[in-house]
Amino acid sequence: MAGPTGNRRQHTGERILDTAARLFYENGIHATGVNTIAERAEVTKVTLYSHFGSKDGLVTEYLRARDHAWRSTLSRFVENRATPEQRLSGIFDAYEQWTVTDRFRGCGFVNATVELTEPLHPAREVIEEHKEGVRRELQDIAETAGCAEAAAVAEEWFLLLEGAVVRCTLRHDVLPLHRAHEAALRLLTPPRATG
């Protein structure tokens, strides 16, 4: 059980992380310095570094926390949906909620990837794991639905989702996600041959 000092330290770390997450997402990672984060979180730079080690460590934890929040959201959207079609729709619904809640500022993971050009940056692994987690969820749906080429179908769904989010961001409108959702459902249930 954590004592008062441990609770205070945890609370301070959370405050720093919440502040950094908001600033990184709204202003960009490179445009947000540790001085600004420390000032807004009402801590010293020494305190910030004692919690996260470096700005790179803070960026990595920001993306881990974002991934955790995404997984919680996704779980709520798919947990009571039984059929592959319902689960697929749940993923599109979760993407739509995040897109609207984030005020059409784009995917935080893609935004971070654009800024973090170093291939060995520790946050890039978190980004890859996040995107791969979405793709795996889609592949599970495709396999459950009995799609002959489940991995290929999952990749097409993934591209539809990612492309639609970019288009939504450009237009400030969820219509591209709705159209991508319709296209995804057509891949789930291909048209029957006539004749």
Q: Report pTM.
A: 0.89
Same-domain check for residues 146 and 171: yes
- Burial track 129-163 (b if 16+ CB lie within 10 A, e otherwise): ebbeebbebbbebbeebebeebeebbebbbebbbe
Same-domain check for residues 62 and 156: yes
What does the pLDDT look like over 82-124, one tens digit per residue? 999 999 999 999 999 999 999 999 999 999 999 999 999 999 9
Based on the structure, what is the number of domains in the chain? 2
**C-alpha dist (Å) from residue 22 to 36, 39, 63, 165:** 12, 14, 11, 20
What is the C-alpha separation between 140 and 145, in angstroms, rounded?
9
Lowest mean pLDDT among 109-113, 150-154, 166-170, 185-189: 185-189
Answer positive or negative: Cα dihedral of 137, 140, 145, 147.
positive
101 domain-assigned = yes
pLDDT mean across residues, the chain: 93
Instruction: Tell me which residue range forms the domain holding 49.
Output: 1-53
Same-domain check for residues 4 and 70: no
Q: What is the CATH number of the domain that holds 24?
A: 1.10.10.60
CA-nearest of 72, 74, 66 to 106 is 66
Same-domain check for residues 96 and 64: yes
